């Protein structure tokens, strides 16, 4: 029932430019909130957990490679 209500509200808000702005802001704030909750659940950025996103996510940087591995 909750998902159905969300769909109805999104369809109603998406009809106007102001509604689209509100939906975009809600989506952006929701992403920030989920990302912060995930960081605190994993022990924070200092615990050695990998950061998600960014252009170099999942790839090692050339700066951190040792000369022996070339």
- The predicted-structure confidence for 1-31, as pLDDT tens digits, reads as follows 999 999 999 999 999 999 999 999 999 998 8
pTM of the model: 0.46
Give the pLDDT confidence score for residue 25 in this predicted structure. 94
Per the CB < 8 A criterion, the answer to whether 45 and 51 are in contact is yes
Give the pLDDT confidence score for residue 38 in this predicted structure. 82
Residue 47 has pLDDT above 60, yes or no: no
Rg of the chain (C-alpha set): 20
Give the pLDDT confidence score for residue 53 in this predicted structure. 58
Give the pLDDT confidence score for residue 33 in this predicted structure. 84
Environment class of 21 (CB within 10 Å of its CB; exposed 0-12, middle 13-18, buried 19+)? exposed
Domain boundaries, the chain: 1-36
Closest residue by Cα to residue 52 from 39, 61, 64: 39
Environment class of 23 (CB within 10 Å of its CB; exposed 0-12, middle 13-18, buried 19+)? middle
């Amino acid at each position: 029932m909750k998902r159905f209500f969300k769909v109805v509200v999104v369809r109603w808000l998406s009809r106007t430019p102001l509604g689209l702005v509100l939906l975009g802001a809600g989506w952006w704030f929701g992403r920030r909130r989920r990302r912060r909750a995930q960081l605190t659940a994993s022990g924070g950025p200092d615990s050695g957990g990998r950061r998600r996103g960014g252009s170099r996510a999942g790839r090692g940087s050339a700066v951190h490679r040792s000369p022996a591995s070339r």
